[in-house]
Structure 1
Amino acid sequence: MSSPSLEHRVPEAVHRRRWAILAVLMFSLLIVVLDNSILNVAVKVIATPEPVGLGATQSQLEWAINSYTLVFAGLLFTAGLLGDRLGRRKMLMIGTLVFGIGSVLAAVSASPGQLIAFRAVMGLGGALVMPATLAILMNVFERDEQPKAIGIWAGSVGLAIAVGPITGGVLLDHFWWGSVFLINAPVVVVALLGMVFLVPESKDPRPGRLDPVGVGMSIAGLVLLVFGIIRGGELADFTDPLVLLTAGAGLAVLVAFVVYEKRLEHPSVDISYFRRPAFAAAVSAIALVFFALMGVTFFSAFYLQSVRGYTPLESGLMILPLAVAQMVFAPRARLVVDRFGARLTCTVGMALVAAGLAAFTLFDADTPVWAMGVVFFVQGTGMAHIMPPVTVAIMQTLPREKAGSGSALNSTFRQVGGALGVAVLGSVLSTVYRSEIEGSLGAVPAGVRDAAGESIEATLGAAEKLGPAGRELVGPAHDAFLHAMHITAVGSAAVALLGALVVGLFLPGRAAPEAEEAAPEPVSAGR
């Protein structure tokens, strides 16, 4: 394939099929997001002893999620750079294929350990896919259409959030737990066909010299940092020596990476972009909102299934209002930004997310279904007015030929924020739950008492084994979980309010963003 030439506009052949290309990119994104949303519904079944599930512990469930996150977050930035250099379409196709292979292997896992390992393979595929989708979008749409395209692209996340849990619920009602991963295989095949026939290749025409030291430092720093965060959440102790050592080493390596990149003539990432308040606020907002939401997403599955007694399908349907709100409002967010400015739009969006998270403090075992639906709809509406504007702020700050690294920065901050949210909020949930339930575990044999207090699923499992004597544990387990959930929700809402403060202070208002005024001429995609 030929290298892209320096032009002022997207080639007409590409421009004519840009909406079909966007559909393929949305389908690719759907694969990655759909899998994670399905897994949130399936965690309870996977925790069930064999032959129904794998008998995964709370810790193993977290690692089934976090092994993906660790690889995904650690390699996102490098994947974006590879796309800029070697070709984004090429990275998209390789990533999709790897994701499909990992999905099939995960579906036939015989143990929690195998599931964790194959989820890591899926994380590698996802890392190659995610930056490429947004980078290709930026290269097939002209600047004035990019906000609309990004809004539709972000709305596809809402579609995945809706389709994932519902599909997962239907599959779990009729098939074994591995079907939630195997469903990815036909989606991957369709996506690959669309890429072959529709998606153009694009890359940076002047990538400069290779920066293996910088790439290695970024991988090492991100992996160490995310591992430390995850381990701290697993232990519910962020003062543990291993946690402090790995997270501290990760931060030190990332600081060294920034210093090193500032001194290079052709750096992997131009650190000067972070000096722009709008850019820094946008990436910070992404990290904060996903910190708040990912922790809540993890425990909401247990609330809906373990406390409320919903089936996986019913649990998936409860998320539908959030997804509908995203699908409806995300493509239209640009119109709100045009009228009120990114600052007010995102600040109100963050406030809505915070309100939705705070509402979890009012949830109990008898909360009406309609009230939960309203809360999820409010959260989805808030997200729909945050993600498109901040993504536009990030992507339009960088020149088009650097779209891969820009998309990778966007995704990296989101994943690190999400991992931190699961770890920190998960540890808060676990710690509060254990302190609340310990006084009710007297009937549990001493040898398994500690494990029975790890989570609500562990307590209910121990109660079931005790037979009639265990029924007295069910009520205290529900009460302890609800108390822990309420406290965790307060922390989540506080983080979302911090995000509202950040975007309220630093995102641009109705005036043209500095990034838009200063952006260089775009470089088009070549076939």
Structure 2
Amino acid sequence: MTATTVPATTPVERRPDRWLILAVICLVQLVVILDNTVLNVAVPSLTKELGATTAQTQWVIGAYSLAQAGMLIAAGGLADRYGRKLVQMLGLGLFGVGSLGGALSSTPGELIAARFGMGVGGSLLLATTIALVVRTFDAEEQPKALGAAMGVGSLGFALGPIIGGALLAHFWWGSVFIVNLPVCVLGLLAVARFVPESKDPQGERPDLLGALLSIVGLVAVVYAIIQGPGYGWTSGRTLAPGAIGVVFVVLFVLWERRTPHPLLDMSFFHNARFRGAVSGGVLVSFGMGGSLFLLTQHLQFVLGYGPLEAGLRTAPMALTIVLLNLTGTGMRITSKLPAPVAIAGGLSLMAGGLAAIAVLGRHGDYLGILLGLVLMGAGVACAQPAMAGSVMSSIPPEKAGVGSGLMGTLSELGNSLGVAVLGAVLTAGFAASLPAGVPQDAARSLPKALATAGPGRAHQVANAFADSLTSAQLIGAVAVLVGGLLAAWLIGRAVAGTPAGGGPVVEPEPATAA
């Protein structure tokens, strides 16, 4: 096992300002995650005021995730080699400049470019968040600190649509970007003042070729996944970037196995804890990302809520995570359990929640959806810290940035795949269930299918959509359950000696002067 541990007899000096450092890290993470969802409610305004097409508005949203997914591993390596504090400050600067560019954009193209720049800055920030936590807190306090960081992240997802809706009710669409600027300035000052610097003492030689291969490969793969539902999975516009991405990812793996100073050490995958956590995490992100994408359509198209109302009704999941993590309740429960049990139990709760949404919410019952969201939140609060700890404890502490970046990359890939695949399952099932005489291409949109079918068959079309939605949601639930069991099984086979809660066992390193 590659994790670095300290014997129980060795006293560990705790930084007196460690919780202040955590608060600064959480503030930085909050603004990045907030921007994953804050723009969703602004899409109608963008369409009207900038004259953006549907494809352009999709890229305004997608460019942010595309840049993050493509850059995270390289950003983690950059942080490990040159300093995690330095990279976090650079990320805040880029994120702030991108936000200002977004607010001042006058065309959809300018806004897409600004969002891409924000995504690059966001990747630098996300790649350092978990790394800084595990380098600041000792093994005993890391689960609590990770739980708090992840709780704040969940709060960002919940607050995004609410803050976006409130800003748009009183200001123009650019206000959703302007609000980032004071947070970026405050974050820069706080990071510069309080966050200690840390880096890999052996990391002077950068793996530039590895970084280039990883960026091109991941960007091309995620691009193909995003394009697939629109152009078709067998279209040249999907297959060509997908093939290029796969080739570059393979070249990246081959290069990392032979270079003496790899960006991502492939020997990490020899560790069963590492394999279990990352493989389970991909399936969980797949199921969660896809199912939550379907839930927004469920709330709007089946239950008839508006965009902001739908956003508010998804908040109970995030609020449950925040409540359990920030109060320490989730950590107290899972710290008494072995990591495989915590992960399997938490992800089983998540799968049960997704199934409850699919089955109990099928006939317009929000109480069933509420129950499902609470179960999902409880499951995330139990499983996420244990899974993050399993990844970070199975790699050398000097590679914490790469580990953090890899976790973020796999999460982005899983989310993108979940949205694309479960969205395709919904469309295929809906097309097969449409009444006779309704064209198959009408299945791409429920409003279009209803308009094509006419009033006489509207009820049949609505039922076909709800049935297809339920089937796709159940597939997402199965993916989460399989992911949880797979992760628990692989981690359970790992070398004995892991702390009961499955938390990271990386000890904090002495910080260099800021």
TM bracket, shorter-chain basis:
0.7 to 0.9
Distance in 2 separating the partners of 1:143 and 1:471? 62
Contact between 2:134 and 2:506, CA under 8 Å: does it hold in 1?
Answer: no
Q: Is the 8 A contact 1:399 1:522 kept in 2?
A: no
Greater Cα shift, 115-124 or 473-482? 473-482
For 1:168, the equivalent position in structure 2 comes to 164
Q: In 2 relative to 1, CA 245–208 (structure 1 residues): closer, same or farther, beyond 3 Å?
A: same
Q: Please say if residues 282 and 410 of structure 2, whose CA atoms lie closer than 8 Å, have aligned partners that are also in contact.
A: yes
Looking at structure 2, the residues matched to 432 and 263 of structure 1 have their Cα atoms a distance apart, in angstroms, of 46
Deviations 1:498-521 (A, max 9, x none): 202212311238953299999787
Give the CA deviation at 1:317: 2.0
Is the contact between residue 427 and residue 444 of structure 2 (CA under 8 Å) also seen in structure 1? yes
Aligned partner of residue 144 in structure 1, secondary structure: coil
The amino acid of 2:512's aligned partner reads G
Match of 2:30 in 1: 30
| Partner secondary structure for residue 386 of structure 1 | helix
Q: Which amino acid aligns with 1:50?
A: K
Is the 8 Å Cα contact of residues 168 and 180 (structure 1) preserved in structure 2? yes
Find the counterpart in structure 2 of residue 445 from structure 1. Answer: none
1:200 to 196, 201, 223: 196
1:455 to 433, 445, 448: 445
Match of 1:50 among 45, 48, 51: 48
Q: 2 CA distance for matches of 1:160 and 1:385?
A: 19
Percent of aligned pairs with the same residue? 38
Residue 490 of structure 1 and its aligned partner are, at CA, apart by 2.1
Quote the Cα distance in structure 1 between the aligned partners of 2:26 and 2:151. Answer: 9
1:503 equivalenced with 2:492 (yes/no) = no
Taking the aligned partners of 2:91 and 2:257, their CA distance within structure 1 comes to 30
Assess, with a 3 A threshold, how the Cα gap between structure 1 residues 46 and 348 changes in structure 2: closer, same or farther: farther
Aligned partner of 1:481 in structure 2 is 465
Q: Which residue of 2 aligns with 1:358?
A: 355
Q: Determine the C-alpha separation between the residues in 1 that align with 2:362 and 2:168.
A: 24
Q: CA RMSD in A?
A: 3.1
Mark the CA change 1:81 to 1:335 in structure 2 (over 3 Å): closer, same or farther. Answer: same
Partners of 2:83 and 2:198 within 8 A in 1: yes
Change (3 A) 1:500 1:518: closer
Pair 1:490-2:488 in alignment: no
1:310 counterpart SS class: coil
In 1, Cα distance between the equivalents of 2:139 and 2:76?
Answer: 20
Aligned-pair CA distance for 1:264: 2.4
Distance 1:342 1:517, change over 3 A: closer
Structure 1: distance between partners of 2:160 and 2:266: 37
State which of 200, 219, 235 in structure 2 corresponds to 1:240: 235
**Cα distance change on mapping 1:370 and 1:521 into 2, 3 Å:** closer
Relative to structure 1, the CA distance from residue 402 to residue 365 in structure 2 (aligned partners, 3 Å threshold; closer, same or farther) is closer
Cα deviations across residues 477-511 of structure 1 (Å, max 9, x unaligned)?
A: 64343233222212211211220221231123895
8 Å Cα contact 1:147/1:392 also seen in 2: yes
Contact 2:21-2:194 within 8 A present in 1 as well: yes
Q: SS at the partner of 1:402?
A: helix
The aligned amino acid for 1:282 is: A
Matched to 1:39, the amino acid is: L
Find the partner of 1:302 among 297, 308, 330: 297
| Displacement of 1:213 | 1.6
Q: Which residue of 2 aligns with 1:281?
A: 276
- Map 1:48-447; keep pairs closer than 5 Å: 50-51=48-49, 54=51, 56-57=53-54, 59-235=55-231, 237-330=232-325, 331-362=328-359, 367-436=364-433
Q: Give the Å deviation of 1:471.
A: 6.0
CA contact (8 A) 1:341 1:509 kept: no
Q: Which residue of 2 aligns with 1:526?
A: 512
Query: For the residues of structure 2 that align with 1:479 and 1:105, how far apart are their CA atoms?
Result: 44
**Paired residues of 2:76 and 2:405 also in contact (CA < 8 A):** yes
- Say if 1:211 and 1:268, in contact at 8 Å, map to a contact too: yes
User: How far apart in 1 are the matches of 2:445 and 2:45?
Assistant: 14
Alignment partners' CA distance in 1, 2:506 and 2:112 = 43
Note if contact 2:276-2:487 (Cα within 8 Å) is conserved in structure 1: yes
1:99 and 1:273, CA in 2 relative to 1: closer, same or farther beyond 3 A?
same
User: Quick check: 201-210 or 512-521, which moved more?
Assistant: 512-521
1:235-267: per-residue Cα shift (whole Å, max 9, x none)?
3x3233443333233223222322222222222
Distance 1:26 1:353 in 2: 24
Residue 3 of structure 2 corresponds to which residue in structure 1? none
Say if 2:76 and 2:404, in contact at 8 Å, map to a contact too: yes
Letter in 2 for 1:399: P
Q: CA shift at 1:54, angstroms?
A: 4.9
Q: For residues 39 and 431 of structure 2, what CA distance do their matches in structure 1 show? A: 25
Task: Tell me the distance in 1 between the aligned counterparts of 2:178 and 2:215.
Answer: 29
| SS of equivalent residue, structure 1 residue 319 | helix
